[in-house]
Amino acid sequence: MLRKTLAALAISFSFAAVVQAAPVAYTIDSAHTDTLFSWNHFGFSNPSANFNNIKGTINFDSAAPANSSVDVTIAVGSVISYVAKLDDELKGDKFLDAGKFPNITFKSTKVEGAAGQNHFKVSGDLTVHGVTKPVVLDATLNKAGEHPMSKAQTVGFNATTTIKRADFGVGAYVPNVSDEIKINITTEASVPKA
């Protein structure tokens, strides 16, 4: 009887260890990550711009998504709209003020989603222009597995959210240039090789 009890306990502990596995830390691949943001311009068009210097870590636990987390830093000076004058304006003191506030950051506070599912709500603190506000990202896991080129374990996500730029002290030209900013993110992140 004692042997059966000990065996059952051993199996339970083994199962618990598997279920409570730590999240895997993936490093964001800036070359395959876009943070595209768009706005409405006087009702005529919906221009967009992107950042191309994005660094950070995605800690992802597919078995227990609540154990996951995201920590990202975006260099404001890397903004690119493919219109030089607009790039300068976005980096200037009327908008993002890269000289005074060189980085945008996002640090998750909660990840919600079911094990084995591909859709998650990622709540966190977004800091723009020195102001921190809570936001929620609607995230989708595109794929997880070995990358065919690098052979590294890799995950890919898309995420969307909408913010009001005036909430972050970046309200120039509202309402002619919309306060509402739509953000679309796509990213690949891999486990660094030893």
Query: Is pTM beyond 0.85 here?
Result: yes
Other residues' Cβ atoms within 10 Å of the Cβ of residue 181: 20
Q: What is the pLDDT of residue 8?
A: 47
Domains in the chain, CATH or no CATH each? 23-190 (2.40.128.110)
- Select from 116, 45, 120 the least CA-distant residue to 86: 45
Reported as a single tens digit per residue, the pLDDT across 106-143 is 999 999 999 888 999 999 999 999 999 999 999 999 99
In sequence order, the 6+-apart residues with CB closer than 8 A to the CB of 65 are: 111, 112, 113, 114, 115, 117, 120
The total number of residues shown for the chain amounts to: 194
User: How many whole angstroms separate alpha carbon 67 and alpha carbon 20?
Assistant: 9
Q: Tokens 């490093």 map to which residue?
A: 27
Q: CA 115, CA 83: separation in Å to the nearest integer?
A: 43
Q: Show Cβ contacts of residue 57 under 8 Å, excluding neighbours closer than 6 positions.
A: 25, 26, 27, 28, 70, 71, 189
| Torsion angle, alpha carbons of 126, 40, 158, 194, to 10 | -60
Three-class secondary structure of residue 6 per DSSP: helix
Residues paired with 72 in a beta bridge: 56, 106
pLDDT tens digits, the chain, 194 residues: what are they? Answer: 445 444 444 444 444 434 446 899 999 999 999 999 999 999 999 999 999 999 999 999 999 999 999 999 999 999 999 999 999 999 999 999 999 999 999 999 999 999 888 999 999 999 999 999 999 999 999 999 999 999 999 999 999 999 999 999 999 999 999 999 999 999 999 999 87
Residue (of 136, 142, 135) closest to 119 by Cα position: 142
CA gap 29, 19 in Å, rounded:
28
pLDDT value at residue 22: 83
